[in-house]
Amino acid sequence: MMIHIACNIDHNYVRHCAVTLVSLFENNPKETFTVHIIARELSETDRNILTALAGKYNNKACYYTPDAQMLEGFTIRATHNRLSLAAYYRCFLSALLPEDIDRVLYLDCDIVILGDITPLWRTPLDAHTGVAVVEDTGCKELQRYEILQYPAEDSYFNSGVLLINLVYWREHHIAQACVDYYRTYPERIIFNDQDLLNCVLHRHKTLVGLQWNVQDGFYRNHPAISPEWHRTHAEILRHPVILHYTNRKPWNYDSQHPLRDVYFQYLDLTPWKGERPWHSVKNRFKRFFRLLPFYIGMRKAKYIRLASL
């Protein structure tokens, strides 16, 4: 069985893409993957690194350079300091990928894969379903639906993990629908590609289990998430299949994510083996003073303690 994976990146995310891919290959050794990498400005060295990593596991990497005009007029709003316009390329996968591929699993590259993804890959996608997704941690925020102008009953999904029905996308011209919607309602699109895809596909999706996109917010001490919810989902939080660092990244000097170290386990299987943000004396000092209020109890812990669930 061939499993098709898609990532859209720029040069700054090559190492993080390498971590995502190595974790995928390591934890799915019996599967065969073709990785479709959408990027405009990768160097030959960047491509060689990713190609070699895929080849080491007997998998294949393919590269696509989209036309810059594809994103003419698009802008990055929320989290503009972490995202580039490349984030929108996932909206055009049906136009970019070969027509003989009928489904693809899109993965952000702030993700590590920690288990068997074949159950997700085999999720039924009927003629009325454009995508299989996991609800976003912000799906209970009613203001989002007021801005996006669709019913809260349709929910709101995270766009970092998308099992895409490419047949549906081609038949319903989803790539063009995204362009048309953005040009018509640019003021509604705050969370970039995620808002756009929710607007276009909110009636044509299927929701899958949380284990397929365990987001940073699920680990947070937040009024919207009760201790009972954390206890109910303790097994998924401890053992996610797809772990998604949606907010502060593990490579940020001040990351407090309880599974931060998992990222570095897989980084050490890439050409960046051994590199750590705390190797910088400056970052160690910055981390100490940034986290000091949490250490001495002046501020409440941002994240739950997995051992206490």
Which residues, in sequence order, are CB contacts of 92 under 8 Å at separation 6+?
66, 70, 175, 178
Give the Cα separation of 197 and 169 in Å (integer).
12
Q: Where are the domains of the chain?
A: 2-212, 216-265+275-308
Which residues, in sequence order, are CB contacts of 20 under 8 Å at separation 6+?
7, 107, 108, 109, 110, 111, 112, 113
For residue range 150-178, list pLDDT tens digits in order: 999 999 999 999 999 999 999 999 999 99
pTM of the model: 0.96
**Could you give the 3-state DSSP secondary structure of residue 60?**
strand
**pLDDT-based confidence at 81, cuts 50/70/90?**
low
Give the Cα separation of 99 and 171 in Å (integer).
11
For residue range 237-267, list pLDDT tens digits in order: 999 999 999 998 999 999 999 999 999 999 9
- Average pLDDT on 226-236 reads 93
Tokens of 111: 């993700």
CB-based burial of residue 269 (10 Å sphere; 0-12 exposed, 13-18 middle, 19+ buried)? middle
Contact predicate 59/68, CB 8 Å: no
Does domain 2-212 match CATH 1.10.30.50?
no
